[in-house]
Amino acid sequence: MSVSERNMSERYLSALRALERDDRLRSLAARDGIDFASNDYLALANAPRMKQAVIAAIEAGTPIGAGGSRLLRGNCEEHEQLEAEAARFFGAEAALFFSSGYIANFAVLTALPQRGDLIVLDDLVHASIREGANASRAETCEVTHNDAAAFEDTIRQWRASGGKGRPWLVVESIYSMDGDFAPLADLLAIAERHDAFVVVDEAHATGVYGESGRGLTAAYGHADNIVVVHTCGKALGAVGALVTCTKVLRDFIINRCRPFIFATAPSPLMAAAVREALRILQEEPERQQRLQALIAFTNREIGARNSWRSSGSQILPYIVGNNARTMTLAAALQKRGFDIRGIRPPTVPAGTARLRISLTLNVDESQVRAMLDALAEEAARLDA
C-alpha cells in the first residue's frame, strides 16, 4: 500500500475511531431471538399468503427485475395493477410505486415544492424527509416536534417577510423513534387557512391504523392538497413505497422527478407482493385487531409497572440517555433472548439514546410480559 493509499484510509479510520470513543460505532448484527425490533407489525413478511402470491407471480411469468426505468421498458403490468388497486384502497385519485420509503420521501420533496415555496418540517421527521427537503428548490425550516402552532407561526412570519409561494407542511403520522402521533387535524386545518400542501409519511401507520389499515390520514379524506407516502416494507411485509396524490401531481412526478425518471423500476415481484398485502388487510381484519389488542395490553402492562411512559402506539421507546449504557442494556436483553436494539444519535437527539421496542404479531402477550420483566431486571442491575 502506497503512502497516498494509507493516508486515504486513515481519514476514514480516524472518523470510525471517533465514533467508537463516543460509543456510536455501528455494526451489522444478524436477527436472533424474539422479535421486538422489526417493523413487521402484521407478521406479513413471512406469511404463507405472501409467499404464495410471489410464487404464483413467478409461475405466471412475472420477471424478477424490471430491466429499466418506468419511462423505458421497465413499466410492467404489475406496477400499473398495484397503483390502480392502491389508489382505490387508499381513496386517492392516483398512486405511484417507488423502490423504498426513503426514495419516495426524497422524490416527493425534491420534485413537488418549487422555488419560492416554503417547506416546514417537524424536527423529528425521518432522515429521508430532511434530505429531500434540503435538496429541494424551496426554502426549508424546522419547527418544534408536534407543535401545530409553530407550523402556523412559521408560515405567517414567512408571508410577512415576503413569501409568495406555497407552504408545505411535512410530518410523520406516527414517529418512528418516539411512537407518538402527529396532530393531523390541526395541521390540515392550518393548511386550509394558508393554501398549503401537507405531506404525511404513514410509514408506521399503514396497515396498523385506520379502517382496514388505510392509515391515519384516511379519516380526513384525500383532498387535493394532501400527499401521502405509504411504506410497503413495514406492516405490508414487502419492499417499496406508494405515493398517493392527485393525477396532476402523479403526472408531474413522472415528468420532473429525477429519482423516478433515472432509477430502475421496482421489482415487479414486489408489486405483486404488495397487491397481496393490500388484499390481506381487507380480507383478514383480525390481524389489525390482534395487533391493536396487543398494543393495548402492553400499554396497560407498562402503566401498571409505573416504570416509564408509554407512547400509546406499537413503537415503545425506553429512554436511557447515555450511549454506552443503552448498548449495554440492549446486549443484556439480547443475551436473554429478546431481539431489542439500541438507538443512538444522530438517529435520535443527543442525550436521548434509547431502546426502540416494537410490537408485532410475531410475539404474544406472554412474551411481552417476559420482555418487560427482563427489561426491569436488567435496568435495575445496570443502575445498581
Average pLDDT over residues 24-47: 93
Q: Residues 82, 97: contact at Cβ < 8 Å?
A: yes
Burial class of residue 229 in the structure, from the number of CB atoms within 10 Å of its CB (0-12 exposed, 13-18 middle, 19+ buried): buried
pLDDT at residue 242, as a whole number: 98
Complete edge-to-edge strand list for the sheet that includes strand 197-201: 94-98, 241-245, 226-231, 197-201, 167-172, 118-122, 139-143
In the predicted structure, residue 1 carries a pLDDT above the cut 60 = no
Instruction: Output the CA torsion 114→115→120→125 (10° steps).
Output: 60
Tens of pLDDT, residue by residue over 105-134, are 999 999 999 999 999 999 999 999 999 999
Average pLDDT over residues 283-292: 98
Q: So which residues are the catalytic ones?
A: 39, 126, 172, 176, 201, 204, 234
Pick from 29-38, 155-164, 260-269: least confident: 29-38
One-letter amino acid of 193: R
In the predicted structure, residue 93 carries a pLDDT above the cut 60 = yes
Average pLDDT over residues 227-247: 98
pLDDT at residue 168, as a whole number: 98
In the predicted structure, residue 77 carries a pLDDT above the cut 60 = yes
In the predicted structure, residue 5 carries a pLDDT above the cut 80 = no
Q: Give the residue from 168, 221, 238, 176 showing the smallest Cα distance to 203.
A: 176
Predicted confidence band at 6 (pLDDT cuts at 50, 70, 90)? Answer: low
Half-sphere exposure of 362 (CA within 13 A, CB side): 23
pTM listed for this prediction: 0.94
Predicted confidence band at 28 (pLDDT cuts at 50, 70, 90)? Answer: confident
pLDDT at residue 249, as a whole number: 98
Instruction: Name 227's bridge partners.
Output: 199
Predicted confidence band at 3 (pLDDT cuts at 50, 70, 90)? Answer: low
- What percentage of residues in the chain have a pLDDT greater than 70? 98
In order of start, what are the domains of the chain with their CATH numbers?
30-44+285-383 (3.90.1150.10), 62-283 (3.40.640.10)
- Cα distance from N-terminal residue to C-terminal residue, the chain: 49
pLDDT at residue 307, as a whole number: 72
pLDDT at residue 2, as a whole number: 63
Tens of pLDDT, residue by residue over 134-184, are 999 999 999 999 999 999 999 999 999 999 999 999 999 999 999 999 999
Average pLDDT over residues 235-244: 98
Pick from 3-17, 86-100, 145-159: least confident: 3-17
DSSP-derived letter for residue 116 is: T
In the predicted structure, residue 78 carries a pLDDT above the cut 90 = yes
Half-sphere exposure of 320 (CA within 13 A, CB side): 26
Average pLDDT over residues 227-240: 98
pLDDT at residue 210, as a whole number: 97
Tens of pLDDT, residue by residue over 317-340, are 999 999 999 999 999 999 999 999
